[in-house]
Structure 1
Amino acid sequence: MTKTITFAIMHFSIAFTVAYLITGSFIVGGLVAIVEPAINTVAFYFHEKIWNRMSQSNSPSMMAKIFQSTGESYALKSM
């Protein structure tokens, strides 16, 4: 749990710092530091649901094809 808390603090700090440096606003920095991790958390939840559904399917070769195709460049595919 300690690792999770320290990661959350780091995430909020980075989000705040980047937003503050870009905008110069403590308010925008604070909003981004709260909103961005919250949205990321929700997105991660759905990512995990989709990932688990794909990995539990009876087609592990489908996962292999996805990973293989993401590693290939477009130029190599067109040859």
Structure 2
Amino acid sequence: MIKTMTFSVMHFSIAFLVAYLITGSFVVGGLVAIVEPAINTVAFYFHELVWSKIQNKREEGEVKGAMETIGESYALRSC
């Protein structure tokens, strides 16, 4: 949890610094530092959902392929 917190502080700091350097405004820097990580957090959640579905489909395909191979081996041995 400490690693997550330190990463969050670093992320907010970098977002603020970049926005401040580009605009020269503390207000804009502060808004970007709050809004950008929040949007990234939501986007990451949906990214993980999609990624999980892709992984599940791959694993189902591997299991299905393995089961077909097992069936073929059994059929060849029983002839």
TM-score by length of 2: 0.73
1:25 to 2:25 alignment:
yes
- Cα-to-partner distance string for 1:32-57 (whole Å, 9 max, x where unaligned): 00000000000000000000000001
Residue aligned with 1:6, SS: helix
The letter for the 2-side match of 1:38 is A
Q: Deviations over 1:55-76 (max 9, x none)?
A: 001346xxxxxxxxxxxxxxxx
Partner of 1:36: 36
Consecutive unaligned residues of structure 2, counting only runs of 5 or more, are 63-79
Instruction: Show the counterpart of 1:13.
Output: 13
**One-letter code aligned to 2:44:** F
Q: Which has the higher helix share?
A: 2
Identity %: 72
Aligned residues: 60
- What is the TM-score normalised by the length of structure 1? 0.73
**Hey, what does 1:74 align to over in structure 2?**
none
